[in-house]
Each structure stands twice: as structure tokens, then as C-alpha cells.
A and B are shown apart, each in its own frame.
Chain A
Amino acid sequence: MIGQPEFVENPENRCPVILLVDTSSSMTGAPMEALNSGLEAFKEAVLQDEQAALRVDVAIVGFGPVELVQDFVTIDQFMPMQLEAHGLTPMGEALSYALDLLENRKTTYRNNGIQYYRPWVFLITDGAPNTDSPWQQAAERLKNAEAQRKLSFFAVGVQGADMSILNQIAPPERPPLMLHGLDFRSMFLWLSDSMVRVSSSTVGGDMVALPPVGWGQIAT
């Protein structure tokens, strides 16, 4: 079997993270702008750590319509794009899509002899799923994946988000967070710091101490 060029050039362990971003029309304007500049800050922050830049493997899935905006790429190769908002909120479809994307990525790692860390899926939304979106099924699948330690799921609500639905999607040990205003920048800097910590952790159990969350609060 011939290894894929990306893994020949960069055989580092991978620390996968999927950003699952609500790009429905309600995100138009200031929220989308703040999110886009947050993404830039994320890249810049991870780049500060040479090892993390080669290990953090990011993919971005937008959902107005579900769309793979950015396939997995390590931060050193990542060019942040301007996300645009339009359409509805197919949250359930997007979650299912992300779970499949992740399983495929793990298969690719294994086929290329690449070792990896427990992936993160990071959902950002300002709304509620479409009424016809199969979000309950997706939430069920997600719960099973969490229970089997296939991933760590984080949900972040922006003003207007239906936190009670996010509460039903997020695992009980990691309740959804409400973003302070549009402080995506702080959120992405936290994500960067967390990814740096995870991607440099060595064998010794699964407890990586995450930095304190200063950018949001647990919704009750």
C-alpha cells in the first residue's frame, strides 16, 4: 500500500477537530464576521506551537445546507476562508455528516499508520434545528459515540440558540455553553490552547486538564 502524500510529508500524530458551524441566514452580518475573524485567530494561535501546527487536523462543516467547507487539513496548511450564511438549520443532518466524516478520517489515519488523539466535534449554532431535521436520531448516535469514547462533543450556543435542545444533544458531563456576546475570538483562542494541550499529551490516561472557559457560561 502506498501512503498518501499528506502523511508522507507530515507523519506526526493527528489531533482531529471538526468545527460544525451553523451557517443559516440568522448568522448573517456581525455573528458571521466575528466567527470568521475568530477562525483566523485560531489558526494564528495554533501556529505559535510548532508541534500543534502539524498535529491539529481541522475540518469545517457548515450547515445552512450541510456542506464540507474545509476537509481535514493540518493547521500549517490551513487557509481560513470567509464563511457565508444562508439557508435553514439542518442540525441533525449536519451532526450525522460529521460523525461519518470522522469515522472516515480515522480509517484514513489507520490505513496510513498514523496515530491519533481522541477527536473533538465542536458545534456552534444560534438557532434550533429545522422542524423536519432528524436531530433526535443524530443526538442518539452522538451519545453512543460519546459513551464509546469515539469523540468529545462540545456545543456552543450564540444568542438566540435553543439551549434546551442543545442540552438534549450534548453529553451530560459536558453541557452546552452560551457564548458571551459574539466573543468568538476568545472561544477560538481557548480551543487553540486546548488543542495544543491535547496534541502534546503523552500516554498516561485520558485526563488532559483543559484551560478555564472565560468566553461562555453553562446554560441552566
Chain B
Amino acid sequence: MRYLRIRYHPLSYRYSPIPKGEAVAWRAIVHSAIGTRHQQKQLPCQDYGSYVLQGDTIIGAVADGAGSAKFSDVGAQLAVKTALNTLGQQSDEWSAIDVQRMNAEANLFFTEMIQAVIAALHAEAETGEYHVRELGCTLLSFIATPHWLACMQIGDGFIVTQSEQMDSFDLLFEPSKGEYINETVFVTSEDAVAYMQVSVRAGHHPFVCAATDGLEKVAIRFHDWQAFAPFFRPFLECLRSVSAAEDRQAYLEAFLESDRLNAKTDDDKTLLLCLDGQEADA
């Protein structure tokens, strides 16, 4: 069965026309919840996350606006949208690219994407008459095809995946933090591209998760940088077995807004989770 091929159009992504009754290639849920500290200070949620489907491929991105940057909520949204648009434009059929070529060119693709993001932030700063630093944010994005998974990360946050055997959860990158807990690298940092981490993994990765650093504490074991399976397993189960999309979304939102979670982290948090539709229960 061929999936409908979707050509690039900036507005058509999230709502790409998938004929009724046809299997969806990926089940994905994404949500950003404001941190209690930001709520107290009456700041907006400075996180953002989104994804687009391209046939049997999913492209996702999340960003965390810098706490000290005044308009980082705008920056985070713009960074995610620009990243998704750029990756969507670079190829209209990522799954046709083989892993050898991706291995060789992932750096180029992602560098071009970051440059587009930086350019978009500069343009926005000019229009809004503020300094580009005030739009500072981290950025994590990935492209998951049936043959490979390509990921990039600037700053903190995490991408976790499960390979085809689906036996363990793997953390793609260690967060690139500065020495101190309250510091990280941003897309707007000087020489941000130099801090970009890129990874290409061969093979099908039916589960991919990207999140901002507000969830690091509960999802990652810091001392040896291992993904904490009890955090991810329930989401995997939810994606697999909950059949209605709105119920899956409600599950994620309830978790991210829960008091139990807010007792452990006071930061904004974004979680983007995807499961290959073929792994889902009917």
C-alpha cells in the first residue's frame, strides 16, 4: 500500500489529508505545559513542539525558550516551525534516501536547517525590534523513516528511541550543558552550529520521543545518562493500545499538567512521542 505522498506546503503539514480508513503511518502526540515557576511569575510557556508527517516518515521538533530571553516563547515557536518547514523542503521523500547517504549528509541537512532557523530568528528580531538573543532557545529535531533515524540537538533536552527489537530505551545525546546546571547552549549562541550534535542510526526505530529539559529529572538517570524505562513505557503503551487519537492526547496532557509531575519539576515541559502505526494494536 502506498501512502499519500505529501508535497511541501507550509500550511498543509499537520492536517495532511489522510483518507479515512487508511492506516496512519505514525501515531504522534505532542504537548507543552507551563511550569509552575513561570506561572507564578506570570510568564508565558516558553516551550514548543510539533511534527509533520510525510508518507511513512515523521519529522519532529521541540524547543525550549531561554528563561532569561524576553521573547523566547516566540523564538521557540519560530524555531520549531522553521525547522519543520526546512526539513520538509529539503526532501519531499526522506524515506527514499538510503542510510549511507544520510550518514554522509545528515550534518549538511541539519546545518542548513539551523542556518534557516537562525535567519528566521534574525528576521523576527528585526521586525519586532529586539535583540536576537531575546529569542534564544534550544532545538531538538529528528527525521524517522522506516530505514533510519536522524537526530540533532543544540542545548539541553533529550531524544530517546527504541530500536526495532524494542527491548531498551536509548538516549541519543547527552544534553550539551555548560558546566553549570543553569546554563546551556542556545540556537542564538555564538557558534551554535559548532555545538550541534548529530546522529544517524540505521534501521527502523518504531518509537521516538523528544522532550525539553523540564522532564530530564524524571526521565533520565543523570549519573550514567540512561533513559529511565519506567518513564517511557506507559507512553509507549498508550500509543500502542489507546485507539482514539483524542484519548492519547488527553493522556499526555493529563500527565504533563499533573500535580505529581509539577511537584518534581517547576520548569516548562514539552513532550513529543511517536510510534510507528504498524506497532499499534488494531
Contact = CB atoms under 8 A, between A and B. Distances in A.
Interface of A: 3, 13, 112-113, 115-118, 149-150, 198, 200-208
B73 interface: no
Nearest to B265: A202
A69 to B, nearest CB: 26
Contact of B69 (A13, A205, A208): A205
B181 A204 contact: no
Given A203-B156, A208-B182, 7 more contacts: A115-B180, A203-B64, A203-B184, A203-B213, A203-B267, A204-B72, A205-B68
B37 interface: yes
B222 A204 contact: no
A202 B180 contact: no
A115 B222 contact: yes
A55 B108 CA distance: 42
- Judged by DSSP, the binding face of A is loop
A202 B267 contact: yes
B68 A207 contact: yes
Query: Which of A13, A117, A149, A204: most chain B CB closer than 10 A?
Result: A204
Given A113-B222, A115-B222, A207-B68, A202 B183 contact: no
23 contacts: A3-B223, A113-B222, A113-B224, A115-B180, A116-B180, A117-B182, A118-B179, A118-B182, A149-B179, A198-B182, A200-B37, A201-B67, A202-B37, A203-B66, A203-B182, A203-B213, A204-B67, A204-B72, A204-B136, A205-B66, A205-B67, A206-B180, A206-B183
Nearest to B212: A203
Contacts of A112: 223
Contact of A204 (B69, B223, B224): B69
Interface residues of B, number: 22
B37 to A, nearest CB: 7
Please provide the 8 A-B residue pairs with the shortest distance between their CB atoms, ordered closest to farther.
A204-B67, A113-B223, A205-B68, A115-B181, A204-B68, A204-B66, A201-B182, A203-B184
Contacts of B177: 203
Contacts of A115: 180-181, 222
A4 B110 CA distance: 41
A154 to B, nearest CB: 17
A173 B180 CA distance: 20
A198 B183 CA distance: 12
A195 to B, nearest CB: 13
Interface in B45-88: 64, 66-69, 72
Nearest to B225: A113
A202 B37 CA distance: 10
A118 B68 contact: no
A117 B180 contact: yes
B180 A118 contact: yes
Contacts of B64: 203
A201 B67 CA distance: 9
A60 B181 CA distance: 23
Contact of A202 (B67, B69, B223): B67
B268 to A, nearest CB: 9
Query: Which of B136, B179, B184: most chain A CB closer than 10 A?
Result: B179
Contacts of A116: 180-181
B185 to A, nearest CB: 10
A80 to B, nearest CB: 27
Contacts of A149: 179
B7 to A, nearest CB: 38
Nearest to B138: A203
B33 to A, nearest CB: 15
A58 B180 CA distance: 17
